[in-house]
Amino acid sequence: MATGITANKWTEDARIISGEEYAGDFSFEISYPGKMPEDALLKGLPEFRYSSVLNQEMANRLYYGENLDVLKHLLHKEGFRGTVKLIYIDPPYGTNSVFQSRNQKSSYRDDLVGSHYLEFMRRRLILMRELLSENGSIYVHLDGNMTFQIKVIMDEIFGAKNYRGTITRKKCSNKNSTTRTYGNISDYILFYSKTDNYTWHRPAAPWAEEKILKEYPCVDEKTGRRYKKVPIHAPGTRNGETGKPWKGMMPPPGKHWQYTPRKLTELDAKGDIYWSANGNPRRKVFFDNDRGIPVQDIWLDVQDSLNQSIRITGYPTEKNPCLLERIVEASSDMGDLVMDCFAGSGTTLDVAAQLERRFVGVDNSSEAICHIIKRFSKGLERMGDYVSKKEIPKKGSAQMSLFEAKAKYNSRFEGSRDFAVIADDRYIEEMDAILEGFGLKSNPRRAGLNG
Ligand SMILES: C[S@@+](CC[C@H](N)C(=O)[O-])C[C@H]1O[C@@H](n2cnc3c(N)ncnc32)[C@H](O)[C@@H]1O
**320-336: per-residue pLDDT in tens?**
999 999 999 999 999 99
Pair 390, 329 in one domain: yes
Q: Is 288 helix (H, G, I), strand (E, B) or coil?
A: helix
Q: Is 436 helix (H, G, I), strand (E, B) or coil?
A: helix
257 inside domain: yes
Pair 304, 392 in one domain: yes
95 inside domain: yes
Q: pLDDT tier at 378 (50, 70, 90 boundaries)?
A: confident
Q: What are the helix (H) ranges across 179-338?
A: 209-215, 261-269, 321-331
Q: Which helix H or strand E contains 9, and what residues bound it?
A: helix 7-17
Pair 335, 281 in one domain: no
pLDDT higher than threshold 60 for residue 307? no
Domain, as residue range, for 360: 38-205+294-437
Atom of ligand 1 nearest to the CA of 108: 25
Who has greater pLDDT, 448 or 91?
91
| CA of 343 relative to ligand 1 center, distance in Å | 5
Pair 101, 217 in one domain: no
Pair 237, 337 in one domain: no
Q: Is 259 helix (H, G, I), strand (E, B) or coil?
A: coil
Quick one: which of 73, 80, 195, 206 has its CA closest to 131?
80
Under 8 Å between Cβ of 50 and 431: no
Pair 282, 375 in one domain: no
Pair 305, 414 in one domain: yes
| CA of 306 relative to ligand 1 center, distance in Å | 16
Under 8 Å between Cβ of 425 and 50: yes
Q: Angle, nearest 10°, between helix axes 67-76 and 114-131?
A: 20
Pair 75, 220 in one domain: no
Quick one: which of 191, 382, 190 has its CA closest to 305?
382
Q: What digits encode the pLDDT tens for the residues 181-208?
A: 999 999 999 999 999 999 999 999 989 9
- Give the domain-ending residue among 241, 257, 289: 289
Q: What digits encode the pLDDT tens for the residues 385-395?
A: 433 334 333 33
- What span, in angstroms and rounded, lies between the C-alpha atoms of 107 and 90? 15
- What span, in angstroms and rounded, lies between the C-alpha atoms of 232 and 30? 51
27 inside domain: no
Closest residue by Cα to atom 24, ligand 1, is 108
Q: What average pLDDT does this structure show over 108-114?
A: 81
Distances (CA, A) of 406 to 139, 410, 433: 27, 5, 28
Under 8 Å between Cβ of 110 and 346: no
| CA of 376 relative to ligand 1 center, distance in Å | 17
| CA of 230 relative to ligand 1 center, distance in Å | 50
Question: Exposure string (b/e) for 340-366, b if CB count within 10 Å is 16 or more?
Answer: bbbbbbbbbbbbbbbbebbbbbbbbbb
At residue 449, what is the residue type? L
Under 8 Å between Cβ of 164 and 122: no
Q: Is 358 helix (H, G, I), strand (E, B) or coil?
A: strand
pLDDT at 415: 38
Pair 283, 214 in one domain: yes
| CA of 152 relative to ligand 1 center, distance in Å | 22
pLDDT at 199: 98
pLDDT higher than threshold 50 for residue 60? yes
pLDDT higher than threshold 60 for residue 296? yes
pLDDT at 393: 39
Strand partners, 284: 229
107 inside domain: yes
Query: What is the torsional sign of CA 304, 370, 136, 115?
Result: positive
| CA of 381 relative to ligand 1 center, distance in Å | 20
444 inside domain: no
Which letter does DSSP use for residue 346 in this model?
T
pLDDT at 110: 78
* Count of domains forming the chain: 2
DSSP 140-193: EEE-TTTHHHHHHHHHHHH-GGGEEEEEEEE-S------SSS----EEEEEEEE
Q: What average pLDDT does this structure show over 277-304?
A: 94
- Give the domain-ending residue among 240, 255, 289: 289
- What does residue 54 show for φ and ψ, rounded to 5 degrees? -135, 125
pLDDT at 361: 98
- What span, in angstroms and rounded, lies between the C-alpha atoms of 340 and 351? 11
| CA of 379 relative to ligand 1 center, distance in Å | 20
pLDDT at 27: 82
Under 8 Å between Cβ of 166 and 297: yes
Q: Lowest mean pLDDT: which of 134-138, 149-153, 167-171, 308-312?
A: 308-312
- Give the domain-ending residue among 266, 289, 312: 289
pLDDT higher than threshold 70 for residue 7? no
pLDDT higher than threshold 80 for residue 26? no
pLDDT at 15: 60
- What does residue 431 show for φ and ψ, rounded to 5 degrees? -65, -40
The CATH number of the domain holding residue 104 is 3.40.50.150
Pocket test for ligand 1, best of 72, 117, 364 (most atoms within 8 A of CB): 364
Distances (CA, A) of 437 to 366, 377, 440, 441: 12, 12, 7, 10
Closest residue by Cα to atom 14, ligand 1, is 342
Q: What average pLDDT does this structure show over 445-451?
A: 57
Pocket test for ligand 1, best of 108, 123, 339, 340 (most atoms within 8 A of CB): 108
SS percent in the chain: helix, strand, coil, step 5: 30, 25, 45
Non-local (6+) Cβ contacts of 56 within 8 A are 420, 443, 447
1 inside domain: no
| CA of 128 relative to ligand 1 center, distance in Å | 15
- What does residue 237 show for φ and ψ, rounded to 5 degrees? -90, 155
342 inside domain: yes
Pair 194, 214 in one domain: no
5 inside domain: no
Quick one: which of 120, 195, 178 has its CA closest to 153?
120
Closest residue by Cα to atom 5, ligand 1, is 344
Atom of ligand 1 nearest to the CA of 371: 9
Pair 216, 198 in one domain: no
Strand partners, 240: none
0.75 surpassed by pTM: yes
User: In percent, how much of the chain has pLDDT > 70?
Assistant: 82
Pair 420, 333 in one domain: yes
Q: Which residues line ligand 1 (CB under 6 A)?
A: 66-67, 90-92, 108, 315, 317-319, 342, 344-345, 347, 362-365, 368
